[in-house]
Structure 1
Amino acid sequence: MREALRRWAPGLAALLAYRRVDLGPDLRAGLAVAAVAIPVGIAYAELAGFRPEVGLYSCVFPLFAYAIFGSSRQLVLGPDAATCAVIASAVAPLAAGDGAAYAALSAELALLTGIICILARFLRLGVLADFLSKPILIGFLNGIAITIVLGQLAKITRIEGTGGHVLHATFDLVLRLGETHPPTLLIALGAFGLMIASGRLLPAFPAAVLAMAGAALAVFLLGLDLAGVKTLGVVPAGLPGVMLVRLDPDALAALVPAAGGLALVSFTSMMLTSRSFASKNGYEVDPDKDFAALGAANVVSALTHGFAISGADSRTAMADAAGGRTHAAALFAAIAVALVLMFLTAPLRYVPVAALGAVLVMAGLSLVDLATLRLIARADRAEAVISLLATLGVVVLGATQGILVAVVLALLRFLRMSARPRVEILGRVAGMPGFHALSRHESATAPHGLVIFRFNGPLVFFNAGHFRHALLAATSAEEGAPKAVILDLLPVTEVDVTGLFTLKEVSDALRQRGIALVGAGRQTEWRNWMVTHGFNPDGIDIHPTLRKAVEALAAADTDQSDAGDTKAS
């Protein structure tokens, strides 16, 4: 029973073995997380197009779901900038301004995302955590950051009618800057100032809390709502009930791809967060279990009037910094948010929308990672270009289509790397054992009359032509035809039928030129592959190591020389 619990509900298994010594640190961490989650949840609800209470609903019951099924002790789920941007991009065109339809479609999107995540767990697709490369993920998040910042400009200036595509809306807003509402702009600037000052003077205090509280107090004391400053208005008190999510057949064609992309991006970013904190605190997380836990949390969010959520890096960092040790910290945070919903919603009516816009701008700017982009550019300019293309895809096409761009870029990157593995010619370096690439060692020399060829990848249908061309080119580049080519088989992790046919064709072509082709490494494995596919295992000699292959060819060359000398004498 205990083993089954650890397998299917690792969080619950950990909570059942809870230690009293962890109660104090977890309680303090939970309250700290709630202090961040409340203003951020409200701000992200605004970003996704919801009333503020919906953002708080998404910070309560989903956390219980992850605490039961998740494997990370410190990960906190909740509304996330990237997921909220995708929700707005996917749902707004379908809802066409109908608030009830918007809420229903968002719940349907969250439910579909959850179902896809749960199915992915049973298909053991946790490996998708590594699917989006660092450059692509950085580019995607940079694009999300730009769209968030540009999307808030209308809120902090109160220039009406700047909807539509974010670039068009921004251009329109710049042309109409003269229509800026001064009190609204002053509130936003004050919120920015409070957040910047808080970050420098009170780094342990949630800056968003201070900004929203200060702005709400200014509205209340100065009557700024009467001067045209938009506020949240009345926020209903109480916890959400359970609702039945109805799947709209007409919307499925648009929502299923969006849900798939949302599942991939939210899971990938969540695993980056959970793995980093797990590594810091000396434990492991299980990607497959966390895929299911993310799915359960999204299903629960859909059933309790919430929207799709993901791992929240800022709230997870807060839980860790405040000393949170177990899943209970997230539960205490959820309970604190629930208490605010039940008893403390009245002050929220004075929170100005401009202050939320300022909070979202700061959140968007925190997603921008130019330092990592510079490091990527130094390491590989092609990867930096891919990262910039992912950013451009999000900004120009929108968050939903931006996911598709990111996925296509990831696939193209994978195909490029697989279809064109690195090819190396090996030789000896004085004072160093083994064989090394001639291109990386100026003093390396190839064995006389031999080409040692290394193909760093599987030999399969989509790179077999590259293999043939590179190997034949290597033999043609030698001064005088080599006597033999040694193929280093250790990096060749897989071979299919096309690869074996190509190998035979290359062997025949070399034999016609008087060049022998031999292999080194994976001796038993390669012979088994060739026998299984009906090739003659004696057609190509396979030696256990490169050294053995070189020695065997040198011995054969010596024998031939001796035989020639004997015949001549």
Structure 2
Amino acid sequence: MTVPGATGALGRWVPGVQVVSTYRRGWLPKDLVAGLVLSTLLVPQGMAYAELAGLPPITGLYTTVLGLLGYALFGASRILVVGPDSSLGPMIAAVLIPIVGSGGDPVVAMGLASMLALLVGLTMTVAGIAKLGFVADLLSKPTQIGYMNGLALTILVGQLPKLCGFSVDGTGLIDELSGFLGGLAAGDVVPAALGVGLFTLAVIVALQRWLPKVPAVLVAVVGAIAATWLLDLGERGVKLVGPLPEGLPPFTLPHATWSQLALLLVGAVGITVVSLTDTVSTASSFAARTGQEVRADQEMKGVGAANIAASFFQGFPVSTSGSRTAVAEQSGARTQVTGVMGAAVILVMLVLTPGLLRDLPQPALGAVVIAASLSLADVPGTLGLWRRRHTEFSVSIAAFLGVAVFGVLPGIGIAVGLSVLNVFRRVWWPYQTVLGRARGVPGYHDVHSYPDAERLPGLVMYRFDAPLIFANARVFRDQIRRLARTEPAPRWIVLAAEPVTDVDTTAADMLEALDRELDARGVSLVLAELKDPVRRKIDRYGLTGPLDPAHFFPTLDDAVAAYRTRTGADWAAPVPSPGRDDSGE
């Protein structure tokens, strides 16, 4: 007998329990069918992404199974699909290659990959418990686009040798491109390999574009295997996947030396940031379609559990997949039973038909990865940034170059750094303007938008669109000084302070010194629309004294009325001032 209260409490921590307790019998046929359809995509992609990470193809299947089961138990989304991901593959390789070397012992690589998955899982889980979902915001949209474009190019170039039937020894985009071009010049291309690779890629791209409901990857892989049988490609120099190990994934304890652990931990942090961003954005987009609420912290725990589960069965780090989730949704998935069904199909294949994919050509796996890389690139989004805002386009290109030139892991660091710097730049150099009264429009408005706006002689209304802190205190001070030096000299400079959400101690000291400087020039600094929390800080700093208490007004209208009463000034059309820049930019 199930106790409802106990189930509800446990369900908040382990959402899979709640799914089971509320499951409807009518959902089962749809979940089972969706799971069968999904498995046709999971198998070839799992194998391909394992090789992208520099690991044996079988580890991709192990990782897929345990990732699906771990997330089904602890994940919050009803249909989100977790598993090996094309965006993580190059990052995993970038962590492992410096430790084991290119072409190193696969057993050692598998052990380190499992430890990497464990570290990622623990990091994600701790982040979820600590409610650190906001970390996903460290990658802005422009930097995400640039990072993904760089990643797509890196993946594409890295898979070109496999598509052509040979391999290169390189650890970055430039090295791999140089090695690929060298292989072409040396005549290393295997015609049969290139033919089956291009055939597979063409089938995937064509079906995804013109028949999106057809499982393109499955059709292409089946076609590649058929070509191997019909044309005897193995005898023509085409490398095949070969027989996979038979049976269930073995339980293994992840291990690494202390020196290896330090390198793995750095990589785990970068992978966690990317996985977290993918998870939150993918979960949000699919939840919006069904009216569900996104529980970002629980999603992190779910993906963390998926990584931890995979780490004990020779798996590697996993993330959510928008493409596989879309397939599940289109196939009628209702709950995570779809993922459990997909995992069960893979397990049955490993136990009963392990030789099913032995004749799959390696160039076909390369084509699967290349097709995935093409979906990562967002050229229209990049062009849109150029049309909409050149600054953010530049940030996107810088993130792209960071990945392309310095590598995947440094690239994610550069992308995060650029996002943070872009935020800081907006606080450092915020928009500033002078306000006036526009005829027929209530209130006071930007004179750049309303160049004919009227102004009161001797009064300047100035707006500063940012919190006033140490980073922009000098910018604010210099602009106030410029306004005070204009001719005819103003008597009042009124700060429209509604956008000023904070004043720190550095800015407070600046305000006190600036007020004394202006007083010496016969100019009064007046504050209007100051928020109550900010006013309380100013009082606590002891500024309400050095700053004349009579120069604080609740609204701009009150400040204007007080100035007109005191001076008798009336509104007048603006007088052009050559070379004057009211915005301060």
Q: TM-score, normalised by structure 1?
A: 0.94
Residue 11 of structure 1, CA deviation? 4.4
Matching of residues 457-496 of structure 1 within 5 Å? 457-477=466-486, 479-496=487-504
Q: Which residue type is aligned with residue 563 of structure 2?
A: L
- Structure 2 residue matching 1:451: 3-state secondary structure: strand
Matching of residues 321-360 of structure 1 within 5 Å? 321-360=330-369
- In structure 2, runs of 5+ residues without a counterpart are 1-5, 570-585
Are positions 1:175 and 2:182 aligned together?
A: yes
Q: Which residue type is aligned with residue 65 of structure 1?
A: G
Corresponding residue for 1:204? 213
Q: 2:279, 2:300 within 8 Å by CA — same for their partners in 1?
A: no
Residue 203 of structure 1, CA deviation? 2.5
Corresponding residue for 1:564? none
Are positions 1:84 and 2:92 aligned together?
A: no
Q: Which residue type is aligned with residue 501 of structure 1?
A: D
- Structure 2 residue matching 1:487: 3-state secondary structure: strand
Q: Which residue type is aligned with residue 564 of structure 2?
A: A
Are positions 1:98 and 2:108 aligned together?
A: no
- Structure 1 residue matching 2:108: 3-state secondary structure: helix
Q: 1:162, 1:170 within 8 Å by CA — same for their partners in 2?
A: no
Q: 2:502, 2:534 within 8 Å by CA — same for their partners in 1?
A: no
Moved more, 292-301 or 11-20: 11-20
Are positions 1:547 and 2:547 aligned together?
A: no
Q: 2:46, 2:83 within 8 Å by CA — same for their partners in 1?
A: yes
Q: TM-score, normalised by structure 2?
A: 0.91
Q: 1:233, 1:350 within 8 Å by CA — same for their partners in 2?
A: yes
Q: Which of residues 374, 379, 385 is equivalent to 1:370?
A: 379
Cα distance change, pair 9–456 in 1 and its aligned pair in 2 (3 A): farther
Matching of residues 509-524 of structure 1 within 5 Å? 509-522=517-530, 524=532
Cα distance change, pair 450–409 in 1 and its aligned pair in 2 (3 A): same
Cα distance change, pair 504–387 in 1 and its aligned pair in 2 (3 A): same
Moved more, 513-522 or 196-205: 196-205
Residue 357 of structure 1, CA deviation? 0.8
Q: Which of residues 281, 293, 301 is equivalent to 1:284?
A: 293
Corresponding residue for 2:572? none
Distance, in Å, in 2 between the alignment partners of 1:201 and 1:551 is: 67
- Structure 1 residue matching 2:542: 3-state secondary structure: coil
Cα distance change, pair 360–524 in 1 and its aligned pair in 2 (3 A): closer
Distance, in Å, in 2 between the alignment partners of 1:499 and 1:404 is: 31
CA RMSD in angstroms comes to 1.9
Corresponding residue for 2:389? 380
Distance, in Å, in 1 between the alignment partners of 2:368 and 2:390 is: 34
Are positions 1:27 and 2:32 aligned together?
A: yes
Q: Which of residues 301, 306, 316 is equivalent to 2:325?
A: 316
Corresponding residue for 2:116? 109
Are positions 1:122 and 2:132 aligned together?
A: no
Residue 312 of structure 1, CA deviation? 0.6
- In structure 1, runs of 5+ residues without a counterpart are 560-569
Q: Which residue type is aligned with residue 146 of structure 1?
A: L
Corresponding residue for 1:566? none
Residue 523 of structure 1, CA deviation? 5.2
Corresponding residue for 1:132? 139
Corresponding residue for 2:23? 18
Q: Which of residues 395, 420, 423 is equivalent to 1:414?
A: 423
Corresponding residue for 1:391? 400
Q: Which residue type is aligned with residue 215 of structure 1?
A: A
Q: 2:205, 2:371 within 8 Å by CA — same for their partners in 1?
A: no
Distance, in Å, in 2 between the alignment partners of 1:238 and 1:408 is: 45
Corresponding residue for 2:234? 225
Distance, in Å, in 2 between the alignment partners of 1:325 and 1:442 is: 57
Distance, in Å, in 2 between the alignment partners of 1:330 and 1:141 is: 26
Q: Which residue type is aligned with residue 105 of structure 1?
A: L
Identity fraction in percent: 37
Residue 39 of structure 1, CA deviation? 1.1
- Structure 1 residue matching 2:526: 3-state secondary structure: strand
Corresponding residue for 2:67? 62
- Structure 2 residue matching 1:350: 3-state secondary structure: coil
Residue 3 of structure 1, CA deviation? 5.1
Residue 401 of structure 1, CA deviation? 1.4
Cα distance change, pair 344–447 in 1 and its aligned pair in 2 (3 A): farther
- Structure 2 residue matching 1:552: 3-state secondary structure: helix
- Structure 2 residue matching 1:548: 3-state secondary structure: helix
Q: 1:154, 1:162 within 8 Å by CA — same for their partners in 2?
A: no
Residue 201 of structure 1, CA deviation? 5.5
Moved more, 257-266 or 201-210: 201-210
Residue 6 of structure 1, CA deviation? 4.7
Q: 1:162, 1:173 within 8 Å by CA — same for their partners in 2?
A: no
Are positions 1:525 and 2:533 aligned together?
A: yes
Q: 1:12, 1:67 within 8 Å by CA — same for their partners in 2?
A: no
Corresponding residue for 1:193? 202
Cα distance change, pair 69–557 in 1 and its aligned pair in 2 (3 A): farther
Are positions 1:361 and 2:361 aligned together?
A: no
Q: Which residue type is aligned with residue 499 of structure 2?
A: P
Moved more, 392-401 or 6-15: 6-15
Distance, in Å, in 1 between the alignment partners of 2:440 and 2:127 is: 51
- Structure 2 residue matching 1:305: 3-state secondary structure: coil
Q: 2:51, 2:57 within 8 Å by CA — same for their partners in 1?
A: yes
C-alpha distance after superposition, 1:181-213 (max 9, x if no partner) = 111111112212322443356421221111111
Moved more, 287-296 or 383-392: 287-296
Residue 221 of structure 1, CA deviation? 3.0
Cα distance change, pair 455–197 in 1 and its aligned pair in 2 (3 A): closer
Q: Which of residues 73, 77, 101 is equivalent to 1:72?
A: 77
C-alpha distance after superposition, 1:413-464 (max 9, x if no partner) = 1221121121121112111111211112223233332211111111111111
Residue 344 of structure 1, CA deviation? 2.9
Q: 2:56, 2:106 within 8 Å by CA — same for their partners in 1?
A: no
Are positions 1:39 and 2:60 aligned together?
A: no
Cα distance change, pair 324–160 in 1 and its aligned pair in 2 (3 A): closer
Residue 369 of structure 1, CA deviation? 0.7
Moved more, 359-368 or 247-256: 247-256
Corresponding residue for 2:411? 402
Q: 1:78, 1:310 within 8 Å by CA — same for their partners in 2?
A: yes
Q: 2:81, 2:325 within 8 Å by CA — same for their partners in 1?
A: yes
Corresponding residue for 2:269? 260
Distance, in Å, in 1 between the alignment partners of 2:525 and 2:145 is: 45
Residue 162 of structure 1, CA deviation? 4.4
Q: 1:376, 1:384 within 8 Å by CA — same for their partners in 2?
A: yes
- Structure 1 residue matching 2:437: 3-state secondary structure: strand
C-alpha distance after superposition, 1:210-234 (max 9, x if no partner) = 1111111221233221222100011
Distance, in Å, in 2 between the alignment partners of 1:440 and 1:47 is: 53
Corresponding residue for 1:448? 457
- Structure 2 residue matching 1:179: 3-state secondary structure: coil
- Structure 1 residue matching 2:335: 3-state secondary structure: coil
Cα distance change, pair 265–201 in 1 and its aligned pair in 2 (3 A): closer
Moved more, 38-47 or 536-545: 536-545
Q: 1:129, 1:287 within 8 Å by CA — same for their partners in 2?
A: no
The alignment covers a number of residue pairs equal to 558
Q: Which residue type is aligned with residue 414 of structure 2?
A: V
Q: 1:108, 1:247 within 8 Å by CA — same for their partners in 2?
A: yes
Distance, in Å, in 1 between the alignment partners of 2:407 and 2:533 is: 49
